[in-house]
Structure 1
Amino acid sequence: MFEKCEAIVLRTIDYGETHKIVTLLTREWGKVAVMARGAKKPNSRLSSVTHLFTYGHYLIQKSRGVGSLHQGEIIDALRGIREDIFATAYASYVVELTDKIMEERRPNPYLFELLLQTLKYMNDGLDLEILTYIYEMKMLRVIGLPPSLDGCAVCGRSEGRFSFSIKEGGFLCDQCEEKDPYRFSLSSAAVRLLRLFYHLDLSRLGKISVKKETKNELHHVISAYYDEYSGLSLKTKRFLEQIEQLKSRLQ
């Protein structure tokens, strides 16, 4: 029996000479793997619908293991991402992060919508770094690693100057900062943006202009937090770091 779903292509693996195993994030069922027979053939009707990042409707025969992809209809190919090396790097990281975190067959409509909106914004040319930081911050709630951002992680104080402590798992006020000699000093802009990115409704994102120095602060804090607590090892992370270095040289 074939069933229809709405999905985003998270990953593809070549299987044999002509087939692909495609990992989809579906709105209805969560993450599922399907066999796309003949998808590597240029004239296959499954070729275009199994490209990475593609958003579409898919007709699937489900099974306990790897299902079977019968057909697909593209809603948005998000071609702008694939045609830009920088967008490809950031989108690949976001997609792999999602793939690593999501368990098989655990529906999460919130995460589906978050990923879809992020990829659409990337496709439309919005700030790739900022979109990635927002996504990373929001994923912390999904994986159960929420940082203390509403106030000091030690005393709860919500006013004044703050730094960020990986050890304490969040902000430290100036009265508690001696608790962590390795804390990250933060500008008021970085403090505000970390809070904003964590709580923001992404669908209401407007134009955000962030200085390079502030982006660097956000990058260091978020990366260190993930490295310490997530236990994730992402192949795309290294590629993204190389792309960021290239981007810095071109600016």
Structure 2
Amino acid sequence: MGVLAKPTLSCDAVVLRAFPSGETSVIASLLTRTEGFVKVVAKAARRPRSRLRPLVEPGRLVSVELSWDPARELQYLRGGSVRLDPLLTGVDLERSAFLLAALELTDRCRLNPGGEAAGGEVAGAEAMFGVCDAFIRMLSSGADAEPARLFFAFEWLLLKNHGLDPEVVACAVCGRVLDYSGDGTNLWFQPAEGGAVCHLCGGAGRPLSREALAEFRLFETGVDAGSAGRPLSRILRRELGAHLHHFLGFHLPGYRLPVALDLLRPVRRAEESSS
């Protein structure tokens, strides 16, 4: 009587995080295109010549083959190939920090089963795979891309995947089309109301500048190669980050500021002291 082969699964995945297990193995958390979030064990992956080692580096897009048993919490990584390494063209602190921050948010802020996305958890994870795939490819496209803008656009799409993207076309309270007619200080951004608020309904929350509104509308329509490289001023970068941080914290369970962004604090302090 023959021995039945163990079921296998081949799929594309984003490596979200990895940590050592035992003397030489690695446990990695993957976001797959077809099965959502999957945790795998890569035997002997910490050995220098291991063929599995390149497949468990966080941030990489990989094609993997797994020994597949849906009843198991841990799947076994059997092999695969690296499709894209976003840091292959060069490692710099800013790109690395924003990449790790995006992976951290993806792993922590998962769509709950039965969530708003059609099909529940797996459908939401599939959509999130597309968001991560696009972010990593854009981050890898060249030195001209502004990493901070790509990360803010990623946060926007994370909210969108949860059905929580902010309103930035019309006032979130009265529905009046948002427009600047004065000195640029008459709009507000209020997480409790769901987005941007006109001067008649506002007065609370944080002021929303003309430039920040334009960036948010860009995030809503999609950042492309042409818009990704436009530089962000330090003031605008800080405003966008603060608005999104407070909106995410108000609406998204499990959110907190990614630890990876702490890597950028010395750089930002140096920028401020030199200006």
Give the TM-score normalised by structure 2: 0.81
Task: Measure how far apart 1:244 and its partner are.
Answer: 4.0
Task: Measure how far apart 1:238 and its partner are.
Answer: 3.4
1:96 corresponds, among 94, 104, 107, to: 104
Match of 2:122 in 1: 106
1:129 aligns with 2:145: no
Greater Rg by CA? 2
Match of 2:244 in 1: 222
Alignment map for 1:158-237 (pairs within 5 Å): 158-161=177-180, 162-178=187-203, 180=204, 183-200=205-222, 202=224, 206-234=228-256, 237=258
Match of 1:18 in 2: 24
1:139 aligns with 2:152: no
Task: Measure how far apart 1:193 and its partner are.
Answer: 1.1
Native 8 Å contact 2:67 2:75 kept in 1: yes
Match of 1:66 in 2: 74
Q: Name structure 2 gaps, 5 residues minimum.
A: 1-6, 114-120, 181-186
SS in 1 for 2:103: helix
Native 8 Å contact 1:160 1:174 kept in 2: no
**Matched residues in 1 for 2:223 and 2:32: separation?**
21
Task: Measure how far apart 1:146 and its partner are.
Answer: 2.5
Q: Name structure 1 gaps, 5 residues minimum.
A: none
Alignment deviations for residues 158-192 of structure 1 (CA, whole Å, 9 cap, x no partner): 143421112322111111113x2xx2112211112
Task: Measure how far apart 1:233 and its partner are.
Answer: 4.4
**Matched residues in 1 for 2:29 and 2:41: separation?**
9
Match of 2:184 in 1: none
Match of 1:78 in 2: 86
1:238 aligns with 2:259: yes
**Matched residues in 2 for 1:79 and 1:143: separation?**
28
Task: Measure how far apart 1:138 and its partner are.
Answer: 1.1
Alignment deviations for residues 51-91 of structure 1 (CA, whole Å, 9 cap, x no partner): 11121211101122211100121122223488322211110
Q: Which amino acid aligns with 1:12?
A: A
Match of 1:42 in 2: 48
Native 8 Å contact 2:45 2:53 kept in 1: yes
Alignment deviations for residues 198-224 of structure 1 (CA, whole Å, 9 cap, x no partner): 231657755333322222211111111
SS in 1 for 2:62: strand
Number of aligned pairs? 247
Cα 1:206/1:93, change in 2 over 3 Å: closer
SS in 2 for 1:110: helix
Native 8 Å contact 2:153 2:223 kept in 1: no
SS in 2 for 1:14: strand
Match of 2:169 in 1: 150
Task: Measure how far apart 1:31 and its partner are.
Answer: 1.4
SS in 1 for 2:260: helix
